[in-house]
């Protein structure tokens, strides 16, 4: 379903070449739950954003359902993201001046869904994540765990096939981490494909497959250093 | 939720930064609207004054001296009547009416009067003071409020004259070679009335009308047809003066100089006391409004651009997130331009209201004229402010739409 072929991403940082990803190959099947584990600066975020069509690789290609993501025009790629991919971020990235309900409506607004349907879908998703009583709260009025749940509701708004999560439990306390992890497991059971970048070994262990990303290279087993 | 919801909510999220850009537009538009409004009514006031005065330009022989504007045609030197034809055939704009005159002294009943030859219709059209008495409806084509502004179409051609003036108008239009009009003072001192006869230089005239009091030297004049007076004077087709009703807007655009160029042998004078000072004031106001326009474009534009660049920088994570959620570049561009549009519209409308209030309040004190609100300035103010806001925001908006989402999500 989701495939990376010899993907490399190189930066030139103050005259020095930085290899964020170095000839990465990956094949994720439909309905699979994959965890990517690695130390800070290993290129995990670069990997995830490249996989999600947000960052053009220096070399190689990324395929989604047989279509080259970076062979598409940028607006077509945005449309693909809107329809098929859901992003979750460590810092939640909620729009600060919108309420929980409105934040969950954003992907639906971008997909030009009518306002009534937007509210209906957003409301049911917020109920699902246990925030039915926080609809009109702004992010600053919510706890970090609640903010991440709003972000999860937003991610699900367009019913994506693929969920790409970048350290989704990185800012959360242990109890909330467990809750959110279980939520991802539940999403996977619904048939969604999940690729999660995480530091947390316990969270990673809930995936069907764990991969290690070290110095821009992907390993199927933890590499010895 | 719509794009406009997103823009509207964000609008009030960073109010402090917004205030600077909004104030720059608001104050600039306020000043321009005030100046333009006051200038407009000041120009109209000049136009009304000139209309009330009647003829406002005199064409005289080169050597003529001006002691009294109303008796300026009482000169020794003459010039050819052909000058009138040259003016009519020229392409000079703003000549509302031409009235050639030849004046010669006459004695009647032991008193001296002036016999003035006129081309009747033109002469009456040029005399505002006679309009009030219902003798003749002179044109109101000199840019007065509610009248044509270019002076090209005398309103009397568009609307019929008042019923009570019709008979007399016909007489005046057809002023015959033995008919005369007499000023109020002449009629009073000689006991003349409509239908009386008078002998002038051996020719008998019938008084067709006694003119109402004007308070000028015209009250001591007797008017007859120009060509009859030319015959009595025995000087051929010559005249002493041409009175011109010049459109005041055209006077400010150099009408006098144009006539001078056309008739270099003649002397062209205007009612300088009124025209010069008022027109200089109006010109100064126009220049001021242009200066403020440049200031608002530079200052307001720079202020809005600065605000927008800061806004884009602050919202880069939000922009990256929206892109991750599937927003296209054009969506981001539209979001920022819509915000600029709201800023321009609100600044323009508020500036119009404030500027109008200021001009209505201060106009009478500054320019000595009553000033009223003008809706056309609303369209003008909104157009300018919106154009500035959109132009100043375009590059920041484009920058936002081209942000690298990866960089925006990585760096925060």
Reported as a single tens digit per residue, the pLDDT across A75-108 is 898 889 888 999 898 888 899 999 999 999 999 9
Distance CA(A72)–CA(A125), nearest Å, equals 31
A46 in contact with B at a CB cutoff of 8 Å?
Answer: yes
Tens-digit pLDDT profile for residues B157-201? 444 444 333 333 333 566 788 999 898 889 998 899 889 999 988
Chain B residues lying within 8 Å of A158, measured CB to CB: 326
Chain A residues 150-189 with a CB less than 8 Å from chain B: 154, 158
Mean pLDDT within B357-365: 89
Look at A78 and B327 and tell me if their CB atoms are within 8 Å: yes
Tens-digit pLDDT profile for residues A49-65? 899 988 889 999 999 99
Task: Report residue A193 as tokens.
Answer: 């494909």
User: What ipTM did this prediction achieve?
Assistant: 0.87
Q: What is the pLDDT of residue A45?
A: 82
Smallest CA–CA distance, residue A220 to chain B, in Å, is 26
- pLDDT class of B121 with cuts at 50, 70, 90: low
Q: What is the pLDDT of residue A34?
A: 94
Task: Report residue B117 as tokens.
Answer: 């030859």
Q: Taking the alpha carbons of A105, A111, A117, A121 in that order, is the dihedral positive or negative?
A: negative
Closest-CA residue of chain A to B323: A78
Distance CA(A9)–CA(A46), nearest Å, equals 8
DSSP states of A17-56: EEEEEEEEEEEE-TT-EEEEE--TTSSHHHHHHHHTTSS-
Distance CA(B300)–CA(B229), nearest Å, equals 66
Look at B323 and A82 and tell me if their CB atoms are within 8 Å: no
Chain B residues lying within 8 Å of A110, measured CB to CB: 322, 325-327, 331
Chain B residues lying within 8 Å of A154, measured CB to CB: 325
Chain A residues lying within 8 Å of B2, measured CB to CB: 109, 115
Mean pLDDT within B8-24: 82
Look at A95 and B318 and tell me if their CB atoms are within 8 Å: yes
A107 in contact with B at a CB cutoff of 8 Å?
Answer: yes
Question: Is pLDDT above 70 for B71?
Answer: no
Most confidently predicted of B87-101, B138-152, B369-383: B369-383
Question: Can you list the alpha helix ranges (DSSP code H) found in B12-104?
Answer: 15-53, 82-89
Chain B residues 311-330 with a CB less than 8 Å from chain A: 317-318, 320-330
B356 vs A16, which has greater pLDDT? B356
Contact B59, B75 (CB under 8 A): no
A91 in contact with B at a CB cutoff of 8 Å?
Answer: yes
Tens-digit pLDDT profile for residues B220-239? 889 898 889 999 999 889 99
Give the number of other CB atoms < 10 A from CB of residue A144. Answer: 14
Taking Cα atoms as reference points, which of B338, B290, B316 lies closest to residue B409?
B316
Tens-digit pLDDT profile for residues B326-339? 898 899 999 999 99
Tens-digit pLDDT profile for residues B247-298? 766 766 678 788 888 888 888 877 655 556 666 767 777 787 788 778 777 8
Question: Is pLDDT above 70 for B145?
Answer: no
Taking Cα atoms as reference points, which of B19, B10, B76 lies closest to residue B347?
B19
Chain B residues lying within 8 Å of A109, measured CB to CB: 1-3, 5-6
């Amino acid at each position: 379903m989701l495939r990376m072929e010899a993907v490399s991403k190189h930066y030139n940082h103050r005259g020095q070449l930085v290899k964020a990803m170095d000839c990465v190959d990956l094949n994720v099947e439909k309905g699979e739950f994959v965890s990517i584990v690695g130390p800070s600066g290993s290129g995990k975020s670069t990997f995830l954003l490249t996989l999600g069509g947000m960052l053009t690789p220096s070399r190689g290609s990324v395929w989604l359902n047989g279509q080259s993501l970076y062979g598409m025009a940028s607006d077509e790629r945005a449309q693909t993201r809107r329809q098929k991919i859901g992003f979750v971020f460590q810092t939640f990235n909620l729009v600060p001046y919108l309420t929980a309900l409105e934040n969950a409506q954003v992907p639906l607004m971008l997909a030009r869904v009518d306002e009534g349907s937007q509210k209906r879908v957003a409301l049911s998703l917020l109920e699902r994540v246990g925030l039915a009583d926080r609809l009109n709260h702004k992010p600053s009025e919510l706890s970090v765990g609640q903010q991440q749940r709003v972000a999860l509701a937003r991610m699900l708004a367009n019913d994506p096939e693929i969920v790409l999560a970048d350290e989704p439990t990185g800012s959360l306390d242990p109890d909330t981490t467990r809750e959110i992890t279980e939520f991802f497991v539940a999403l996977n059971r619904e048939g969604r494909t999940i690729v999660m970048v995480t530091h947390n070994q316990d969270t990673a262990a809930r995936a069907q497959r764990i991969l290690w990303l070290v110095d821009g290279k992907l390993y199927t087993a933890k590499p010895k250093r | 939720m719509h794009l406009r919801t997103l823009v509207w909510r964000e609008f009030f999220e960073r109010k402090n930064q917004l205030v600077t850009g909004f104030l720059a537009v608001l104050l600039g538009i306020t000043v321009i609207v005030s100046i333009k409004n006051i200038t407009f009514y000041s120009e109209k006031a000049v136009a009304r004054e000139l209309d009330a005065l009647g003829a406002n330009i005199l064409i005289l022989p080169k050597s003529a001296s001006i002691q009294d504007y109303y008796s300026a045609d009482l000169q020794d030197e003459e010039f050819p009547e052909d000058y009138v034809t040259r003016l009519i055939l020229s392409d000079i704009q703003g000549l509302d009416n031409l009235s050639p005159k030849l004046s010669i002294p006459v004695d009647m009943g032991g008193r001296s009067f002036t016999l003035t030859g006129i081309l009747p219709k033109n002469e009456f059209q040029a005399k505002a003071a006679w309009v009030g008495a219902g003798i003749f409806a002179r044109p109101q084509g000199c840019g007065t409020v509610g009248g044509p502004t270019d002076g090209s179409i005398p309103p009397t051609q568009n609307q019929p004259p008042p019923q009570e003036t019709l008979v007399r108008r016909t007489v005046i239009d057809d002023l015959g070679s033995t008919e005369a009009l007499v000023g109020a003072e002449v009629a009073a001192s000689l006991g003349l009335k409509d239908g009386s006869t008078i002998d002038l230089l051996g020719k008998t005239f019938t008084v067709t009308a006694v003119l109402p009091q004007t308070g000028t030297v015209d009250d001591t004049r007797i008017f007859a047809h120009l060509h009859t007076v030319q015959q009595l004077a025995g000087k051929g087709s010559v005249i002493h003066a041409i009175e011109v009703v010049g459109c005041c807007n055209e006077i400010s655009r150099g009408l006098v100089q144009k006539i001078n160029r056309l008739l270099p042998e003649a002397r062209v004078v205007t009612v300088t006391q009124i025209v010069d000072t008022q027109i200089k004031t109006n010109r100064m106001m126009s220049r001021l409004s242009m200066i403020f326009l440049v200031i608002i474009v530079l200052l307001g534009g720079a202020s809005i651009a600065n605000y927008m660049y800061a806004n884009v920088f602050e919202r880069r994570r939000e922009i990256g997130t929206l892109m991750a959620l599937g927003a296209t570049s054009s969506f981001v561009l539209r979001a920022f331009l819509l915000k600029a549009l709201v800023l321009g519209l609100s600044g323009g409308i508020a500036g119009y209201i404030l500027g109008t209030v200021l001009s209505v309040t201060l106009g009478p004190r500054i320019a000595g004229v009553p000033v009223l609100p003008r809706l056309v300035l609303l369209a003008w103010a909104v157009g300018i402010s919106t154009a500035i806001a959109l132009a100043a925001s375009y590059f920041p908006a484009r920058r936002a739409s081209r942000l690298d989402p990866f960089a925006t999500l990585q760096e925060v």
